[in-house]
Structure 1
């Protein structure tokens, strides 16, 4: 898990250490500035005031001369030639002499001018003891505490990471839940992590049972639903061969068409019930044959309506897919076109990569068109359960086809099914 929880925790601690280091270094820099411009300056001023108080008591008092501070006094009226060259010409106040590595405080009084020099080397040693060493110690303390906290956090999240790795390797069709069985969990998985493992194990078992039930249903339904339909078709064929009365012949033909439609619907539902990774039984077939067959069925459904159904073949595409799927798609489109067209024309156009079904019926409003592919949506239309177009969309998505509707009220509807993988005839 490249972006798992342990990695995020590690990044969080690294960022925390980096920010803490930056904060301490910034604090050290501020302390150094304060030491240079506040502590040293205040020390020299205090040293100057102390010297002048001693000078008032005894003018023979020599200037300060210690390990850190060097003092020079130029009494009023005397020359500054006795001063080091770097100090000559300095006015009252604080001065920093980078070349000599010195910080100088010049204090001018009536009795003369006092020059106090603070040696930078001594100042840096003092800064090291009072700033650098505490800063380094604080950094190492933070690093140590962060490392210990990271190790503790890693131990806490390791059970969750272990569970995540196992669950990520599950196959949705057959999840391997045996590793999450309570008696097979590692000893370090305790508390909430063990409860989560038990819940995932139970969930995996339910998923396994659900997949098994779905597989059994698909297998059983494929057999049990086809058997009575086959009986109906065979019986109607026998009865049709012996029938003489036209009305009986028409009724038997309707039974045959309904049985074929039911077989196509059953096949479509079984295809949709299978998972995406289970390929349906496909074959190469001619789209025009399916179109003409469904058009013939649609003509019988129109009955005595003053509606003409015309088929125009501008191409002869071939598809590699279950033919029943296209039967269901075109059957639903033609059934809708015939149901909502009371007069005029239903027209089917076959092109090299598409089939277009258009009618001159009542059409759909913009709101109805937006919800047309939603299950059980019928708008203001009383006919049908509202499943035809949703099934068309699902089948098209299953086979990689696309379906598009264009419609307006009282101007008819045009449905276009496109086949990206269509091929010309051999």
Structure 2
């Protein structure tokens, strides 16, 4: 699980540390810049004002000196003796002298001129002590808090990440639910919500396993139990067909029995295919779509007895498919049965294209509301019509199972167009 929660949390904390560190560094840099550009300027201005105020009271007041600066005072009308030449020539005001690592203030009053020279190196050391050092301490505090928060968060999400890996590794056909059994949970799962989630997943896995077992048993048993009586019916019908002397009515009944048994076998095959798991492929064969359509058209012809309806097939192509032929037979047969049932006059056209089979009728059609629910199981717009409303639902499910989407278009009173598209 390369994109698991621990990795995401680690990335989030790293981004947080980087962003906070950049913010702290930027703030420290701005503070130091303000101090360098403004603090010394204000300090020298205040020092000069204080000196001249004291000098006005006491003419012998000494020139200010400190650990970080030197001062010289030149009374009015006297030469700047003792003042360095590179300072004595400066005009009144504040002068940064980067080449000499000095910041100089020249303050001129009627009583004389005051020179104050601040040592830039000492000021930088003060900046380190009062600005850089707190920034470093702040960054260390951020790193310590982030590391502690990361450890706590990792401890909290580790059980969830472990559960996610276990569930992601499940085989849907045979999930390894024993890994989530209470006695096999790792110690770091603890006794809180993570353990409750693990127990819930274990119970869910047991239910899924039981469901899969029942589904497999049903598929196996249904395949045997449903085919056995159908085989008896078909064999009996074939034997009866060899008898001589059957009346025309008996022969028609015999053909209907044989046709119904074939239909029932196709429906059973379709339901069993739908009941199987999606990754279990049913037996496939190479067949002609036109052959299947012709067979299904022959089967539904009796449904049109006594109706002024013309059923015909238009073949614009001869497509062939490699799939279970009975699946397409069930789909086409259901669409044809619906068309015959809801068409009282006009025509029914089955059109075969290279990539589709369509059934168009001139029947009663469907409203927009009915069309939206046409594929719902057990839904019937006409409650008096025969059947259980399962035909179109089965057709759609089979189409989705084999990649043959089914599309319905209908206009009330004008008929319906049903299309099976072959996606290749």
Name the structure 2 match of 1:404: 407
Equivalences, count: 420
Alignment match, 1:416: 419
In the alignment, what sits opposite 2:257?
255
Once the 2 structures are TM-superposed, how far is the Cα of residue 239 of structure 1 from its aligned partner?
4.0
Whether the aligned pair in 2 keeps the contact of 1:17 and 1:143 (CA below 8 Å) is: yes
Stretch moving more, 271-280 or 381-390: 381-390
1:221 aligns with 2:203: no
- Within-5 A mapping of 1:37-56: 37-56=37-56
| 1:142 Cα deviation from its structure 2 partner | 1.7
Moved more, 373-382 or 292-301: 373-382
Specify the alignment match of 1:300 in structure 2: 302
The aligned residue for residue 170 of structure 2 is 170
Shift of 1:173: 0.9
Alpha-carbon separation, structure 2, partners of 1:362 and 1:205 = 50
Q: Distance in 2 between matches of 1:360 and 1:264?
A: 27
Aligned partners of 1:80 and 1:88 also within 8 Å = no
Superposed displacement of residue 79, structure 1: 5.2
Contact 1:358–1:415 at 8 Å: present in 2 too? yes
The Cα of 1:295 is off from its aligned counterpart by 0.4
Give the conservation status (yes or no) of the 8 Å contact 1:309–1:347. Answer: yes
What pairs up with 1:17-416 in 2 under 5 angstroms?
17-78=17-78, 82=83, 84-86=85-87, 88-92=89-93, 94-192=94-192, 193-242=194-243, 244-379=246-381, 382-383=384-385, 384-416=387-419
User: Which blocks of at least 5 consecutive residues in structure 1 are unaligned?
Assistant: 422-426
CA distance in 2, matches of 1:238, 1:337: 34
Give, in angstroms, the shift of residue 385 of structure 1: 3.0
> Does structure 1 retain, via aligned residues, the 8 Å contact 2:90–2:106?
no
- More moved, 277-286 vs 54-63: 54-63
Q: CA deviation at 1:360?
A: 1.5
Closer/same/farther in 2, CA of residues 180 and 87 from structure 1, 3 Å limit: farther
| TM-score, length of structure 1 as denominator length | 0.91
Aligned residues of 2:92 and 2:105 also touching (Cα < 8 A): no
For residues 122 and 309 of structure 2, the distance between their equivalents in structure 1, rounded to whole angstroms, comes to 109
Q: How far does residue 333 in structure 1 lie from its aligned partner after superposition?
A: 0.7
Q: Which moved more, 1:5-14 or 1:232-241?
A: 232-241
Q: Give the Cα separation in 2 of the matches to 1:298 and 1:320.
A: 25
Return the TM-score normalized by structure 2.
0.91
> For structure 1, which segment, 270-279 or 239-248, has the greater mean C-alpha deviation from structure 2 after superposition?
239-248
The whole-number CA distance in structure 2 between the counterparts of 1:87 and 1:309 is 118
**SS class of match (1:173):** coil
Note the aligned Cα RMSD (angstroms): 2.2
